[in-house]
Structure 1
């Protein structure tokens, strides 16, 4: 008992040590709970229950040891029994401790896996951080590039502003130059009008002198004639008239020419012929065209072959007198040729065009030449002057056709810009414009109407009095050229379907006659065909270098003129006298044909 009592303080002391150890364990567990609460939550629960059982066991042991001290009646057997129960409880607790240790090991394994995963994630995060750093570097590079581009853009913007300022200055200079050019044109026009005025006055003075000389001359009149005939005589003839053989004749001054009233009337007549600012001279007004051809000759052979131009020839036209021929081509000049005795001789060269010549036309007197040009203009020359007298500008594309209208002071032009313009030569200005919307290949005039051919396979008839289309006739292909007969009754059209079509102008409903031939092929969009002066034949050049001539009455091919052109023929012209045909082509040659 003494040993037991001696051990009781030790037991008590052991209880104090247990309490110290408990508080230490609690502090450790609290610290661990704070660090890994979620991971070891189950282990903490088990450990808490273990502590509760341990406390209960200590209480039981303390009571058992102290009981003999207080009552002294406890038996050793009872103490041994309690000791067995305690051992049994301690074994269970040890078993639970082992289980908890195993769970701790499992949790440690899980924790190690999580640490491995965390290290992997850390490495991935480090890689992403490097990528982020690289992207940031690229962003900085892009910002730097943008900054450089912004500087360049600002520099270009400043340069653009400078160029725009220079452009505005150039526009102002252009306006001033245009005004200067207009002023120079006005001065040139005034100078030309003054020169024409002086020429006209000189012609009037010459005519007046001639009239006065005629008024002073003496004529002999046969008194026996019911209708006296007068003639101008020389002084020698007047002396003869005083001889006895002419006793019945008497000398007198012609009252018809010496009368002041008649002289004044003639002067006023010629004065009315002269118009202010007109491009027509008095000599031009007085000239008359030649007569009408009654029977045209069908050419049979070539009289002359000559190299007329330095480049391809696009157009050819006879004057109304048939003794003057004009040719024009891509060398930008018009050449005039005298046609006499079956030969062509060069007469003059007309300069001034800045583009190739596409069409040529003479006025009714043969004194003025009109031409269409690739430089978007039409030009007017006088026969004896090498520089153009008038330049008509206003089309936006090349001028493909230029014709004199029924009025001597008006001309007509057609252009690739789809418009037809009527010009007043007195003012050199456009007085009417018709917008067709289709490429205009050729135009012709007939009294009060204009007829135009277009690439949309249509022939349009315009009334100039109301500026409207009165007829629209379909064709079988692109219209390359138009020609009207001398009596203005028939219209000829050449089409790209390798055919010529002839129709009556006054009776559109009768349809049209189509002319074709084996081997004939329309070479280009500007191939020109013509009607003979008597209206009995049609002539056109082919791509094979031959001239084809059809008989209008029979509709059959009359003749074919080969072997002179080595390249396609672009245009032909029939002289108003009906005697000659001239063909021109792409080989710079002009061939004079006739039946002589």
Structure 2
């Protein structure tokens, strides 16, 4: 068994931490909280992994909990989704060395749960308790135009995630489904609905190719989905000539309570999950399974009581090779933890 080694604990939030999000280069970590702030942390020492500092506090733009925080691909903008039903867009001012809220996106009728930037930074997606997903186009001078309001989910939408290379969006909902959205003739539509979970889907993440999705649910399972494109060798039907997503692996019995977060490393290929049972677990695919159609995933590391007795709301792998073994987590205890994944014998 490998292990998760705690290398730093970042304290500063005075309410639960909802999401942790690495900047595209990994040189900063943004965290959002029930205390209505975003904190930006940096590792201030190249030699000491435990030496971290809060270098910015973003506050004043939201009246309620900040539920989600996301970096633009440029690393110069942040988006924040709040229970006050708005989304804030923040920009770093090189002159003043400060972050400023330059736009507030309104329209959702209830709590905004998640926000995500497309891979090229030209689109922003938000989702809400009002059962809708909104897609916004990034225009010049900090203007944002709503291109589409997607209303096919029947319940609260918990999370949105963009494909790592294409303009394709996935959304996860309280209605136990994942929906896949694409654009056609200037409008967005649902091209597939992924069914299998038996309770709320809290989190989703793509692998580095974008051909696979992992989902985490209140039903205490992780499910792995594979995209089958038209004319695939396996003979999977693709209605409307659109790729079809199929459940190819389900992990159960590893968490005792709701799984709130999942992160699929784009570097080391491992999947980390975080749960209300206070455990963080890391899963690795068996190298002997050479087929994508029936992969076998095994637990390779576990941290029990990773945030004491508190629920763990978010996990996120470091985005680059530099610290591919780092994992960040945030919990109801208000702390942000930095872990190192240590292989046997390392």
Q: Taking structure 1 as the reference length, what is the TM-score of the superposition?
A: 0.41
Q: Does 1:459 align with 2:222?
A: yes
Distance 1:302 1:529 in 2: 19
Cα deviation for residue 442 of structure 1 reads: 1.0
**TM-aligned CA distance change 1:340 to 1:520, over 3 Å:** farther
1-side partners of 2:311 and 2:93: how far apart?
A: 31
Aligned to 1:318: 71
Change (3 A) 1:312 1:550: same
Q: What residue number does 2:82 align with? A: 329
Count of residues paired in the alignment: 264
Distance 1:305 1:407, change over 3 A: closer
Matches within 5 A, 1:497-576: 497-505=277-285, 507=287, 508-516=296-304, 519-523=307-311, 527-534=313-320, 535-553=324-342
Counterpart in the other structure of 2:200: 439
In the other structure, the counterpart of 2:167 is 409
Larger Rg, first or second structure (1 or 2): 1
Partner of 1:388: 146
Structure 2: distance between partners of 1:398 and 1:455: 14
Moved more, 508-517 or 435-444: 508-517
Q: For residues 530 and 343 of structure 1, do their structure 2 counterparts lie closer, same or farther at Cα, with a shift above 3 Å needed?
A: farther
Match for residue 468 of structure 1 among 246, 255, 277: 246
Match of 1:303 among 49, 55, 65: 55
**Residues 351, 386 of structure 1: 8 Å contact kept:** no
SS in 1 for 2:144: coil
Q: Find out whether 1:370 has 2:158 as its counterpart.
A: no
The structure whose residues are more often helix, as a share, is 1
CA distance in 2 between partners of 1:537 and 1:374 (Å): 32
Alignment of 1:166-315 (within 5 A): 297=43, 300-307=52-59, 308-315=61-68
- Once residues 301 and 375 of structure 1 are traced to their aligned partners in structure 2, the CA distance between those partners, rounded to angstroms, is 37
2:276 maps to which of 472, 476, 496: 496
Verify the 8 A CA contact 1:523 1:542 in the aligned structure 2: yes
* 498 and 518 in structure 1: CA distance in 2 versus 1, 3 angstrom threshold: closer
CA contact (8 A) 2:283 2:301 kept: yes
- How far does residue 452 in structure 1 lie from its aligned partner after superposition? 0.9
1:358 aligned partner? 113
Please report how far the alpha carbon of residue 548 of structure 1 lies from its aligned counterpart in structure 2 after TM superposition. 1.4
Of Structure 1 and Structure 2, which has the larger fraction of its residues in strand? 2
Aligned counterparts, 1:123-162, within 5 A? none
Q: In the TM superposition, what is the alpha-carbon distance from 1:407 to its structure 2 partner?
A: 5.5
| Paired residue secondary structure (1:511) | strand
Q: Is the 8 A contact 2:159 2:202 kept in 1?
A: yes
CA contact (8 A) 1:483 1:531 kept: yes
Query: CA separation of 1:396/1:519 partners in 2, compared to 1, >3 Å: closer, same or farther?
Result: closer
Counterpart CA distance in 1 for 2:192 and 2:268 is 23
* Structure 1 spans left out of the alignment, 5+ residues: 1-289, 556-596
Distance 1:517 1:434, change over 3 A: closer
Equivalence for 2:190? 430
Deviation track 1:315-368 (CA, whole Å, cap 9, x = no partner) reads: 111122211111111111111112366632222112221221111111111221
**Residue correspondence of structure 1 range 16-165 to structure 2 within 5 A:** none
Question: Structure 2: any 5+ residue segments left out of the alignment?
Answer: 1-22, 29-41, 44-48, 229-235, 237-244, 288-295
CA positional deviation for 1:294: 9.5
1:291/1:310 CA distance change after superposition, 3 Å: closer
Aligned-pair CA distance for 1:486: 2.7
Residues 244-284 of structure 1 deviation map (CA, whole Å, 9 limit, x = unaligned): xxxxxxxxxxxxxxxxxxxxxxxxxxxxxxxxxxxxxxxxx
Q: Is the 8 A contact 2:119 2:164 kept in 1?
A: no
Partner of 1:388, secondary structure, is strand
Give the CA deviation at 1:496: 1.0
Matched, 1:479 2:232: no
Distance across 2 between alignment mates of 1:503 and 1:291: 23
Highest relative contact order (Cα 8 Å, sep 6+), 1 or 2? 2
3-state SS of 2:81 partner? strand
Take 2:79 and 2:309, find their aligned partners in 1: how far apart are those partners? 25
**Do structure 1's residue 449 and structure 2's residue 238 form an aligned pair?**
no
1:479-528 Cα offsets, whole Å, 9 max, x none, are 1011222336121211111121122246444433112456534447xx22
Contact in 1 for aligned 2:115/2:126 (Cα 8 Å) = yes
Q: CA RMSD in A?
A: 2.7
Provide the secondary structure at the position in 2 that maps to 1:528.
Answer: strand
Contact 1:489 1:506 in 2 (8 A): no
Report the Cα distance in structure 2 between the residues aligned to 1:528 and 1:340, rounded to whole angstroms: 28
